[in-house]
Amino acid sequence: MLYLNSGKGNYMKKKVYISVFENESIADYAKVLVEKFDYEIVSSGRTLNFLRERGFGVSDIEEILDDNIGKLSIENLVKEYFDMVIVMLQPVDDIAEKTDDIRQFMDALNVSDFSILRAGAKHFENTIVVTEPEDFYNSINVNSYEKQMLALKAFQYLADYDSAVSEKIGVYSGEDERKLFSWSKLYDLKYGSNPQQKAALYKSDVMADYIILNEKELSHNDILNVTTAVNLVSEFYDVNAVSIVKHNLPCGVALGKSIFEAYTKAFDCDPFATFSGTIAFSQTVNFEVAKHLNSMSVKVVVAPYYDDDALELLRKNNDLKVVRVTTALKDFKKYITEEINVTPFGILVQDANKSELDKDLFRVATKTKPTTEQLEDAIFAWKVAKYARTNSVVIAKDFKTSAIVQGQVDVISATELALNVACENSKDAIMAYDDPIESEDCINAAAQGRISLIIQPGGALNDSDIFAAADKFGIVVVVTGIRNLKF
């Protein structure tokens, strides 16, 4: 039987309550607490079994609670009994993924640990509280201010958890009238889009993993550019792909038989835009690519891997930021969840555009039919157009963009500008649109540029006239049924 005497001072050993969802992270720290700092461990559930299986002498919190029912509240029990509380709850998303039943979801929530952590945080002068592995060794021999900061973390952790539970219950109940966001600051940025704008990076619930390999810090604008560049190459994660982005706008994308070929083809699309640009690679950056990168002014390079000699060379470039994305590119779309825009008229929240071509919507709308090579180029150009600013027109051939025109106020101007940029490279090329073509002038311009195929959403009132005009010039029109507007 475990009885509670009044006050912690009556105990020879300090006591720690441990309950963590990911048990593997706790074993080494528990050993330090027991052997070096003479702690007695109290635990529950899976953590209790885990620690006992590894030879720790662990008391069961349930016995302590049973022995003190009617004597003390949980708050006073924690205050008088525990010198330290380590609680890391099972993530709400993890619970929700396992069941569609709200009762099962609620039963899986660990309310006892929630209450114990809250009580420990409230009485931080007497009880050290820990909610993440990063603070394991920072929680030993802490002063009063450090205890207070750990308590602040705990309350923030509990608030985030409460918000997540509330949101999931809303989902179970079919209610979406509240949208809850709670982000913790990772660090302040030097500035935002411009020097007069303050900015900071906050931690979201779902974040891709990356490493900066030459000890530099990404700026506000760098993070936007890297996001777009990696998003683009993740569309082609299983082949050699390169995307070049500047001012958060794609300006060159290509696929190649080798990563160097893909890079040179993307660079050729707009060499001037590449200077001070951000370049993303779907495959390992080798020495040949690194040598070319170092011969010009590039701001950020991002890739899943770097050959040792390539990395050594790139690190010698003091003006370059070298980033490795450790999250698999094939999974990158999972980390693009919602787009949030705070306006004076309210907060806009929308799902990220993860559109994929649908075989039931995808169709050839003209009498003129495409070749297999044309269709492959069309799909490539369509994926690029998805990330360009509306109105976007992309001209491509042989898995290489020769023009990416975007942000125009009307589609006719965008079409004419794209053809001027591509020049002779428009011959037999593909033209991709993010919005339906509503003017035959676009078809006439495409014919003058000797475009062979147009891929566009379709759905305009005069679709039949557009298709007939294309047939007159022998231009294939492929309709996707999907708009990809990007504002």
CATH of the domain at 385: 3.40.140.20
50 and 163 share one domain: yes
Q: Shortest CA distance to 352 belongs to which of 316, 395, 396, 386? A: 386
- The verdict on residue 23 lying in a domain is yes
pTM: 0.77
Q: Shortest CA distance to 86 belongs to which of 3, 22, 162? A: 22
Query: Residue 113: which CATH number?
Result: 3.40.50.1380
- The verdict on residue 402 lying in a domain is yes
Q: What is the pLDDT of residues 292-350, one digit of tens each?
A: 999 989 999 999 999 999 999 999 999 999 999 999 999 999 898 889 999 999 999 99
327 and 380 share one domain: no
30 and 164 share one domain: yes
Two tokens, residue 366: 């003209």
Q: What is the pLDDT of residue 455?
A: 98
CA distances to 146, 150, 329, 443 from 123, in Å: 13, 11, 45, 73
Q: How far apart are CA 294 and CA 141, in angstroms?
A: 48
Residue ranges making up the domain that contains 470: 363-479
41 and 131 share one domain: yes
Residue with tokens 């720790």: 56
Q: What is the pLDDT of residue 214?
A: 94
321 and 370 share one domain: no
Contact of 170 with 178, CB cutoff 8 Å: yes
- Domain-ending residue, one of 286, 315, 331: 331
Mean predicted lDDT score pLDDT of the chain: 93
The pLDDT confidence band at residue 266, using thresholds 50, 70 and 90, is very high
- The verdict on residue 53 lying in a domain is yes
- The verdict on residue 460 lying in a domain is yes
Q: What is the pLDDT of residue 11?
A: 46
Contact of 293 with 314, CB cutoff 8 Å: yes
Contact of 365 with 458, CB cutoff 8 Å: yes
14 and 137 share one domain: yes
- The verdict on residue 181 lying in a domain is no
- The verdict on residue 458 lying in a domain is yes
Radius of gyration of the chain (CA): 29
The pLDDT confidence band at residue 66, using thresholds 50, 70 and 90, is confident
33 and 122 share one domain: yes
Q: What is the pLDDT of residue 487?
A: 92
Contact of 418 with 394, CB cutoff 8 Å: yes
127 and 222 share one domain: no
Domain count, the chain: 3
- Residue 278 contacts by C-beta under 8 Å, 6 or more apart in sequence? 222, 225, 226, 229, 244, 245, 246, 298, 299, 300, 301, 302
- The verdict on residue 72 lying in a domain is yes
Q: What is the pLDDT of residues 423-453, one digit of tens each?
A: 999 999 999 999 999 999 999 999 999 999 9
Q: What is the pLDDT of residue 5?
A: 43
53 and 112 share one domain: yes
- The verdict on residue 84 lying in a domain is yes
389 and 307 share one domain: no
Q: What is the pLDDT of residues 189-218, one digit of tens each?
A: 999 999 999 999 998 878 999 999 998 999
